[in-house]
Amino acid sequence: MVAGGGIGGLALSIGLSRAGFGVTVVERAARIADVGAGLVLYPNGIRALDTISAPLGKAVRAAGHVAEPGDVRPHLRSDGALLASDPIGALEERWGTPHVMLLRSALQNALLDEALAVDVDLRIGREVVDHVDTSDEVRVSLSDGTEVAGELLVGADGLRSGVRSRLLGPAPINYRGYSSVRGRTAASHNFPVGVTAAGPGIDLFVGAVGGGLLYWTAKIVSPQGVWPAKTPEVALSELLAVMADWDPALLELIETTDTAAGVVMTDIVDRDPIPQWTSGRVTLLGDAVHPMAPTLGQGAGMALEDAAVLTACLANDKLADYDRIRAPRTREIVLLSRRTGGVDHERAVEFSTLDNQFSRLFGWQIEGVQ
């Protein structure tokens, strides 16, 4: 049983179903929201998808923008001066799988289609409200009053995971000192594959997500709770006001935002890494256990890696290997995301050309299941 039908939960259900397990996914949302959020999958995330299901990996590539050889994402100062360039199109040649950006809803739909195709039992519009591990099975109570029993419960229910809180008790959520405003706009002839830019107190990331669209996110130094409290219209207006002296080509990306598609404001948070999150017949996956700042674009990638590894562990009857393999890996990425997460208008992060930390990041392979 999987609590949570987000990216990690659905990916796990697909992998397990393909491995011959019967899987029930419980998801509280009644439908997939088509809002402004997008995401990036670096080569390790795409490799995890391919490991879980080759048809799924193909569908995700088709749903977004796959970086082509020669694609370069410039990193600019807010006045338009070039600080560095990130050759995202070279990633596939080096690592064997590409850099892909797509809308979160497009990824979710691809996962949902594949889950239905492999006969995952999806129960939407309800949530797991309690569970009891009897050592022989896990009994799960749902919000509609029904009960379900199974051999294993996986909490993939996000940042404020109920499964986690029952399993591990309370733990602080750490505000990282900045918030984000996110939206989408039409493709730009100035920045066809996207751009990153930085000014005092603000970092901007823009990427092509397919379908003639760009996704953008502005990271803003701010006290906690200020930006999420604004309406989308006010947030967009105030963002443009504080970016008023930016280069016009960069401002145009924000000015032409499709407000009907949604503008999303969130505080950026993470949790301290933990060495173990499996107990008895209950374990965790993705943001339920290791939420991280989005600096490295690895939130979805880590959830997909979790899903691939947990599938392999269960297929080999080696649940105990899951934490052993994943805890060191996710700890490194959570902490690296923290260290590189500050807003700095003179710093250029070139993900495709950095040191051995990024070689380990992009070069991930599923291994170590004993």
Q: If DSSP codes are grouped into helix, strand and coil, which group holds residue 64?
A: coil
Neighbours of 326 (CB within 10 A): 24
**143 φ/ψ sector (left φ>0, alpha ψ -120 to 50, else beta):** alpha
Supply the pTM of this predicted model: 0.95
CA torsion 323→324→329→334, rounded to 10°?
Answer: 50
**Backbone phi and psi for residue 20, each to the nearest 5 degrees, phi listed first:** 100, 5
Long-range pairs for 128-137: beta carbons < 8 A, 24 or more residues apart: 128/1, 128/3, 128/26, 128/153, 128/157, 128/162, 128/163, 129/162, 130/166, 131/163, 131/166, 131/282, 133/279, 133/280, 133/281, 133/282, 135/280, 135/281, 137/281
- Please, what are the domains in the chain? 2-34+104-172+272-362 (3.50.50.60)
Q: What is the pLDDT along the chain (370 residues), one digit of tens a residue?
A: 999 999 999 999 999 999 999 999 999 998 866 666 899 999 999 999 999 999 999 999 999 999 999 999 999 999 999 999 999 999 999 999 999 999 999 999 999 999 999 999 999 999 999 999 999 999 999 999 999 999 999 999 999 999 999 999 999 999 999 999 999 999 999 999 999 999 999 999 999 999 999 999 999 999 999 999 999 999 999 999 999 999 999 999 999 998 888 899 999 999 999 999 999 999 999 999 999 999 999 999 999 999 999 999 999 999 999 999 999 999 999 999 999 876 654 454 555 445 566 778 898 988 766 5
